[in-house]
Structure 1
Amino acid sequence: MKVLVTGASGFLGGRLCHALLRRGHSVRAFVRRTSDLSSLPTLSDGVPLELALGDVTDYPSLLAACSGCNVVFHAAAIVESWLPDLSKFISVNVGGLKNVLRAYKETDTIEKIIYTSSFFALGSTDGYTADETQMHSAKFFCSEYEKSKAVADKIALEAAKEGVPIVAVCPGIIYGPGKITAGNVVARLMVERFNGRMPGYIGDGKESFSFTYVEDVVNGHILALDKGQPGQRYLLTGENASFTQVFDIVATITNTKRPSLKIPLFVMVVYAWLLVLFSRITGQPPLISPPAVCVMRHQWAYSCEKAKRELGYKPRSLKEGLEEILPWLKKLGLIKY
């Protein structure tokens, strides 16, 4: 099939392009002119990869990229906890999806849309583990990212009711080898931890996130193409754990000391604001922002049993995933242990 991947140059999108090519599909990678293409297969390898230049917020370029495609993997998104211009979250994460849906209606070849949502779209789960039936209350949002994904999630569900063949997949916190972006937060934290810039545990140990290895998320997307039912959401999550548990597992794997300091969240808030101020000067995104600290005050525990049962999704454990990412970071010279 001819497959379009939006966000193809990103942490997830690049791996998805590789996986689709391995399965014999022709892939059209939708990227911006300024995108770093290092995560994509090189065209000189002779793979059936085509580059389409544009932006999901630029409808004419997106419509042109959709032309002749049978499937659209809409993975393009801004995955940050904070930006100087907060309006970009809505314009990209919501506007981009609206443009994909519009392009579907104006073409006659698209048979299925796999939309990369997020477990944040379903809201926090303080005190319990939730599944795909949860709907975000929309009463409070920790971040503009969370808000944008919740709004987009409802748009996707409404489109499905109107007959659009869209399947939503909702990953947890994605981590693994690849680009060390804001979306690959575990890798970023490991670099900070082993270089002495993160001297202690972050959070109170009561928070809970669903951590998902990047290759498992990619496989989940492929499974959603093969077996996902239009109008359904599938949580591509993994093991639910706190960042305290992550740091403890890392210490065991690397045979290094566990952090002796626990950094209270009120200290993290002050630190986060300082990083934001520094970010405004340098133009580099902050490692931790005030919205990210707000997220850590809540639990985001989700079950992926539906994806296991209906798609055949098989996520690895957090320990197994960390055992792969740590040697990779060490080989790159980004950490030492």
Structure 2
Amino acid sequence: MKKTLLLFSFTLSSLSAVFAQTAQDSLALMAQAYQTYTDSINASMKYEKGTIKLSNGIATIKVPAGYKYLDAKQSNYVLTELWGNPDRGSSLGMLFPEHAGPMSDSSWCFNIEYDEIGYVEDDDAEDIDYEELLTTMKQEVTDANTDRVAQGYEKVELVGWASNPFYDADKKILHWAKEIKFGDSEENTLNYNVRVLGRKGVLILNAIASMNDLKAVKGNVHAVTDIVAFTDGNKYENFNPDVDQVAAYSIGGLVAGKVLAKVGFFAGLLKFWKVIAIAIAGAGTSLWKWFTGRRENDERRTLNQPERRSLEG
């Protein structure tokens, strides 16, 4: 009987080890499948270099050294299908670092858009109280969360400035950065904004990244501030007050604009894998405790059984 119990105990121990190994193998296979999927997504993207004429004809982009350009169609796919942003179809393209892609672990990019809001007057640039503006922006983001959640998206919190607003009056370029928290995400998102003023609107270059990328993005902002060239007739100095529309707001209004950030599938899938890993590890731990608990009880019963018989006899 004792041999049988010891054999049973050994079998339980072996099964627990097999289960733990199976769980690890399963997790490894899942991680491998995810890596294969992300690699295939990155490999499917077709990039361009050189001087790119934007599809709306407003401007050209000279792709800087160390970067590659993803066209408008692919960029809108990345934003909506891969990163889970609301479908706006407004991207004119993306600039990715040379050795990165939309599904890379440390992926970040500059998303390019154009907003035909009219001619932005810049005579208020030196008078803006950006801390007061930040307080207003935080409240507006909070107020918008009801509609955002109702549409199936995570709530958003504007944490603060990641880089204070700065306007270059000579180049007509404005840039600033916001730190944003999405839902319960452990890692905040960096929203680095660049605006190039034109005759009828502004060209937008938004850096979409995590806060861990702040140093890299901030160090590369200079690389994208001089790559935009408005086409003839669309330059800031081409403004004609007799026929052109003036924007409803100026520099401060640009800084207070709405948020577009990297959310959804990419971050959500990483959370999903983390949950799976924890679930498997938890199940393995529970089963191990069950197995070892049963074994310890069996061993105690085996050792105590002769003594009980002696007392009972």
TM-score under structure 1 length normalisation: 0.22
Higher relative contact order (CA 8 A, sep 6+): 2
Structure holding more helix per residue: 2
